[in-house]
Amino acid sequence: SQQGEEDPQALSIQEGENATMNCSYKTSINNLQWYRQNSGRGLVHLILIRSNEREKHSGRLRVTLDTSKKSSSLLITASRAADTASYFCATAHLTGNQFYFGTGTSLTVIP
């Protein structure tokens, strides 16, 4: 399987704390994207980082990419109860038209 893996599988924090989740993948990529999934819903795109970028910000989200280690991290700052969801990384490889999704991190933010 070419699926990536997220770490940790589950994360529980207090409102206002920062949440960090990591993604590791196996082959060279074109870009990496992070998606969010609320319980019982479809996935929603959060942010895309290209292989030649090292860091990207969007509101309270910060994504880093280390292509030498084949890993990425997603930081959510000042978390809110509404951030409770599962977060998935998805990699687009250099060849082909497919995305490969990771196994997800389940984030719970306690009010």
Give Dmax (Cα) for the chain.
Answer: 43
Segment near other proteins (CB under 8 A); pick from 12-20, 30-38, 60-68, 77-85: 30-38
Residue 27 is a binding residue for other proteins (CB under 8 A)? no
Residue 26 structure tokens: 């196996």
Q: Which of 18, 30, 55, 80 binds other proteins (CB under 8 A)?
A: 30
Buried b / exposed e across 2-14, counting CB within 10 Å, b at 16+?
eebbbeeeebebe
CB of 17 to other proteins, least distance (A): 25
CA 33 to CA 31: how far, in whole Å?
A: 7
Residue 8 is a binding residue for other proteins (CB under 8 A)? no
Segment near other proteins (CB under 8 A); pick from 11-19, 59-67, 68-76, 90-98: 90-98
CB of 15 to other proteins, least distance (A): 27
For residues 23 and 71, the answer to whether their CB atoms sit within 8 Å is yes
Indicate if the alpha-carbon torsion angle 78, 80, 82, 87 is positive or negative: positive
Where on the chain is the footprint of other proteins (CB under 8 A)?
1-3, 30-31, 33, 35, 40-45, 48, 88, 90, 92-93, 96-104
